[in-house]
Amino acid sequence: MRRPSARLSRGSLGDQEPGQDYRGRFANEKDFALKPALCVAPQTQCYSANEHMLVTVQQHILQQQEDQFPAARGNFSSLLSGMTLATKMIQAKIRRAGLADILGSAGATNVQGEAQQKLDVYANQAVLHCVGARESVALLVSEENEEPITIDQSPEGKYIIVFDPLDGSSNIDVNVSVGTIFSILRRPDDVHGESAVLQEGWKQVAAGYVVYGSSTIFVYTAGQGVFGFTLEPEIGAFVLSFANMKMPMRGNTYSTNEAYSDTFPDSYRTYLNNMRSRGYGSRYIGSLVADFHRILLKGGVFLYPPTKKNPHGKLRLLYEANPLAFIAEQAGGQAVAGSQRIMDIKPSSIHQRTPLVIGSREEVIDFHRIHSAASVGA
Ligand code: AFP
Band (50; pLDDT cuts 50, 70, 90): low
Task: Report CA(73)–ligand 1 centroid distance (Å).
Answer: 38
pLDDT at residue 40, as a whole number: 36
Residue 250 has pLDDT above 60, yes or no: yes
Cβ–Cβ under 8 Å, residues 306 and 265: yes
Task: Report CA(325)–ligand 1 centroid distance (Å).
Answer: 17
Between residues 193 and 13, which one has the greater pLDDT? 193
Cβ neighbours, 10 Å, residue 154: 7
Between residues 72 and 15, which one has the greater pLDDT? 72
Residue 47 has pLDDT above 90, yes or no: no
Task: Report CA(119)–ligand 1 centroid distance (Å).
Answer: 15
Helix ranges (DSSP H) in 320-360: 322-330
pLDDT at residue 38, as a whole number: 34
Q: Is any atom of ligand 1 closer than 6 Å to the C-beta of 19?
A: no
Between residues 14 and 335, which one has the greater pLDDT? 335
CA atoms within 13 A on the CB side of 111: 15
pLDDT at residue 374, as a whole number: 85
Segment 293-314 shows an average pLDDT of 97
Among 46-55, 134-143, 337-346, 348-357, the minimum mean pLDDT is found in 46-55
Q: Is any atom of ligand 1 closer than 6 Å to the C-beta of 169?
A: yes
Between residues 190 and 110, which one has the greater pLDDT? 190
Task: Report CA(318)–ligand 1 centroid distance (Å).
Answer: 15
Cβ neighbours, 10 Å, residue 216: 23
Segment 349-375 shows an average pLDDT of 96
- What pLDDT, in 10s, does the model give residues 261-283? 999 999 999 999 999 999 999 99
Residue 163 has pLDDT above 90, yes or no: yes
The residue whose CB lies within 8 Å of the most ligand 1 atoms, and thus the one to mutate among 170, 181, 256, 353, is 170
CA 60 – CA 38 distance, rounded (Å): 9
Residue 24 has pLDDT above 90, yes or no: no
Q: Is any atom of ligand 1 closer than 6 Å to the C-beta of 258?
A: no
Residue 377 has pLDDT above 80, yes or no: no
Give which of 259, 276, 240, 314 is closest to 55, Cα–Cα.
Answer: 240
Band (89; pLDDT cuts 50, 70, 90): very high
- What pLDDT, in 10s, does the model give residues 186-229? 999 988 899 999 999 999 999 999 999 999 999 999 999 999 99
Cβ–Cβ under 8 Å, residues 211 and 289: yes
CA 59 – CA 8 distance, rounded (Å): 12
Cβ–Cβ under 8 Å, residues 120 and 144: yes
Q: Is any atom of ligand 1 closer than 6 Å to the C-beta of 60?
A: no
pLDDT at residue 43, as a whole number: 53
Residues 6+ apart with CB under 8 A from 359: 247, 251, 295, 299, 300, 301, 302, 328, 333, 334, 335
pLDDT at residue 152, as a whole number: 84
Q: Is any atom of ligand 1 closer than 6 Å to the C-beta of 168?
A: yes
Band (19; pLDDT cuts 50, 70, 90): very low
Cβ–Cβ under 8 Å, residues 151 and 133: no
Residue 14 has pLDDT above 50, yes or no: no
Q: Is any atom of ligand 1 closer than 6 Å to the C-beta of 114?
A: yes
Task: Report CA(170)–ligand 1 centroid distance (Å).
Answer: 8
pLDDT at residue 285, as a whole number: 96
Instruction: Identify the H or E element spanning 136.
Output: none
Q: Given the CA of residue 167, which atom of ligand 1 is nearest to it?
A: 2
The residue whose CB lies within 8 Å of the most ligand 1 atoms, and thus the one to mutate among 143, 172, 304, 353, is 304
Q: Is any atom of ligand 1 closer than 6 Å to the C-beta of 288?
A: yes
* Predicted TM-score of the model (pTM): 0.85
Q: Is any atom of ligand 1 closer than 6 Å to the C-beta of 104?
A: no
Percent of the chain with pLDDT over 90: 66
CA atoms within 13 A on the CB side of 151: 24
Segment 231-260 shows an average pLDDT of 96
Q: Given the CA of residue 179, which atom of ligand 1 is nearest to it?
A: 10
Q: Is any atom of ligand 1 closer than 6 Å to the C-beta of 123?
A: no
Helix ranges (DSSP H) in the chain: 57-68, 75-95, 118-132, 194-197, 266-277, 288-298, 322-330, 361-377
Task: Report CA(285)–ligand 1 centroid distance (Å).
Answer: 9
Sign of the torsion angle spanned by Cα atoms 206, 31, 56, 217:
positive
Sign of the torsion angle spanned by Cα atoms 340, 334, 32, 37:
positive
Band (156; pLDDT cuts 50, 70, 90): confident
Residue 337 has pLDDT above 50, yes or no: yes
pLDDT at residue 44, as a whole number: 62
CA dihedral 273, 275, 281, 286 (to 10 degrees): -70
The residue whose CB lies within 8 Å of the most ligand 1 atoms, and thus the one to mutate among 167, 258, 284, 316, is 167
Q: Is any atom of ligand 1 closer than 6 Å to the C-beta of 286?
A: yes
